[in-house]
């Protein structure tokens, strides 16, 4: 599949989507890519099924006009730092973005915290899109005081286990660290509870430190393999930690600029993005979260300007 050097951004006129635009432009500028802004709309059920065609036409014309206004604002927000294209498309936002992700190299969407119908709808897209996307998805939380969408990416953390998905996320995190010359930390989480969970088979006498040392040894091997495959000599900090993966990632997110995760994993990452761990990370992260799909082996174009 041929991918375009494009960062795809879903916009809806909200502050959250403007924050996503800021982050996407920053990433695209670093990569030498362009940005494509997309506003998707769908007719309300009562209009689409109305017996009176006039109401449906009126509603759609209003939606199109509103979407075009949103796109105009989004283009203005994106500025001129990178090439920007835009498109208004009829359809469910999640499905539209998932389809376009087949040829894009990255998708970026915003996410609110808080109540309200608009916030709940935007939150639904941010949680439903990552497992359907055909490239990496970045979910950007918006705050009035947020600096993540405007400043450089200096610190990245990635959750790692022995699954193929986590290894893919690690390779993607290494690439992001190279792009930004950022500090990268990889950690493996394990909840050490005697008689329960993944390590229930272990005898009560098993030493806590021995378990973490064993996990750390496996992490070292995984990181070394990923660095070799990436032909990269960057320094990766490594930690094996006792605790919940979701809780640890959320805590790390307060001190870093980007969290990278895979869509499936083992141990603390089981069912990531399809279960409670993923929802907790994306709902509570203080910084952008990059989700790397399991089925995607490489979502970059074959050639890109920053590679030397």
| CATH number of domain containing 255 | 3.40.50.620
Residue 193 vs residue 208, higher pLDDT: 208
pLDDT at 274: 43
Mean pLDDT value of segment 136-158:
78
Question: Confidence band (pLDDT; 50, 70, 90) for 276?
Answer: low
Q: Are residues 23 and 136 in the same domain?
A: yes
Distance separating alpha carbons of residues 181 and 8, to the nearest angstrom: 23
Q: Is the pLDDT score of 78 beyond 60?
A: yes
Distance separating alpha carbons of residues 1 and 125, to the nearest angstrom: 25
> Is the Cβ–Cβ distance between 45 and 165 less than 8 Å?
no
> Is the Cβ–Cβ distance between 146 and 18 less than 8 Å?
no
Question: Confidence band (pLDDT; 50, 70, 90) for 269?
Answer: very low
Q: Are residues 161 and 234 in the same domain?
A: yes
Q: Are residues 187 and 277 in the same domain?
A: yes
- Lowest-confidence region among 75-84, 194-203, 239-248, 284-293: 194-203
Is residue 294 situated within a structural domain? no
Question: Confidence band (pLDDT; 50, 70, 90) for 148?
Answer: low
Is residue 101 situated within a structural domain? yes
Number of domains composing the chain: 2
What sign has the CA pseudo-torsion 102, 106, 109, 111?
positive
Mean pLDDT value of segment 294-303:
62
| pTM, entire model | 0.85
Question: Confidence band (pLDDT; 50, 70, 90) for 236?
Answer: very high
- Lowest-confidence region among 59-73, 220-234, 236-250, 261-275: 261-275
Q: Are residues 173 and 131 in the same domain?
A: no
Distance separating alpha carbons of residues 77 and 88, to the nearest angstrom: 16
What is the number of residues in the chain?
Answer: 308
Q: Are residues 126 and 213 in the same domain?
A: no
pLDDT at 231: 87
- Lowest-confidence region among 155-164, 241-250, 266-275: 266-275
Host domain of residue 227: 155-287
Is residue 302 situated within a structural domain? no
Distance separating alpha carbons of residues 287 and 93, to the nearest angstrom: 23
Q: Are residues 164 and 271 in the same domain?
A: yes
Residue 242 vs residue 35, higher pLDDT: 35
pLDDT at 263: 77
Q: Are residues 244 and 119 in the same domain?
A: no
Mean pLDDT value of segment 161-184:
91
Q: Are residues 178 and 280 in the same domain?
A: yes
Distance separating alpha carbons of residues 52 and 227, to the nearest angstrom: 62
Distance separating alpha carbons of residues 188 and 216, to the nearest angstrom: 7
Is residue 299 situated within a structural domain? no
pLDDT at 182: 96
pLDDT at 258: 95
Is residue 182 situated within a structural domain? yes
Nearest to 32 by CA among 86, 105, 101: 105
pLDDT at 146: 59
Mean pLDDT estimate for the chain: 81
Is residue 160 situated within a structural domain? yes
Is residue 296 situated within a structural domain? no
Q: Are residues 176 and 279 in the same domain?
A: yes
């Amino acid at each position: 599949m041929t991918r375009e050097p494009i960062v795809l951004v879903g916009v809806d006129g909200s502050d959250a989507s403007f924050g996503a635009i800021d982050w996407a432009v920053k990433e695209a500028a670093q990569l030498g890519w362009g940005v494509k802004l997309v506003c998707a709309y769908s007719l309300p059920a009562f209009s689409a099924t109305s017996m009176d065609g006039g109401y449906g036409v009126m509603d759609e014309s209003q939606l199109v006009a509103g979407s075009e206004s949103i796109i105009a604002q989004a283009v203005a927000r994106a500025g001129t730092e990178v090439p920007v294209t835009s498109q208004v498309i009829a359809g469910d936002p999640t499905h539209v973005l998932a389809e376009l992700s087949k040829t894009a190299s990255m998708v970026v969407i915003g996410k609110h915290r808080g109540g309200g119908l608009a916030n709940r709808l935007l939150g639904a897209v941010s949680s439903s899109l990552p497992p359907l996307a055909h490239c990496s998805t970045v979910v950007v939380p918006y705050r009035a005081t947020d600096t993540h969408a405007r400043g450089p990416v200096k610190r990245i953390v990635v959750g790692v286990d022995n699954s193929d998905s986590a290894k893919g996320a690690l390779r993607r995190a290494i690439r992001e660290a190279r792009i930004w010359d950022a500090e990268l930390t990889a950690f493996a989480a394990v909840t050490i509870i005697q008689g329960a969970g993944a390590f229930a088979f272990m005898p009560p006498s098993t030493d806590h430190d021995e378990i973490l040392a064993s996990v750390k040894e496996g992490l070292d091997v995984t990181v070394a393999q990923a660095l070799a495959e990436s032909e990269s000599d960057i320094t990766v900090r490594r930690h094996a930690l006792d605790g919940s993966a979701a809780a640890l990632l959320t805590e790390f997110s307060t001190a870093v600029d980007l969290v990278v995760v895979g869509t499936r994993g083992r141990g603390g990452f089981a069912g990531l993005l399809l279960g409670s761990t993923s929802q907790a990370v994306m709902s509570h992260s203080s910084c952008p979260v990059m989700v790397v799909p399991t089925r995607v082996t490489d979502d970059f174009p074959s050639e890109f300007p920053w590679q030397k």
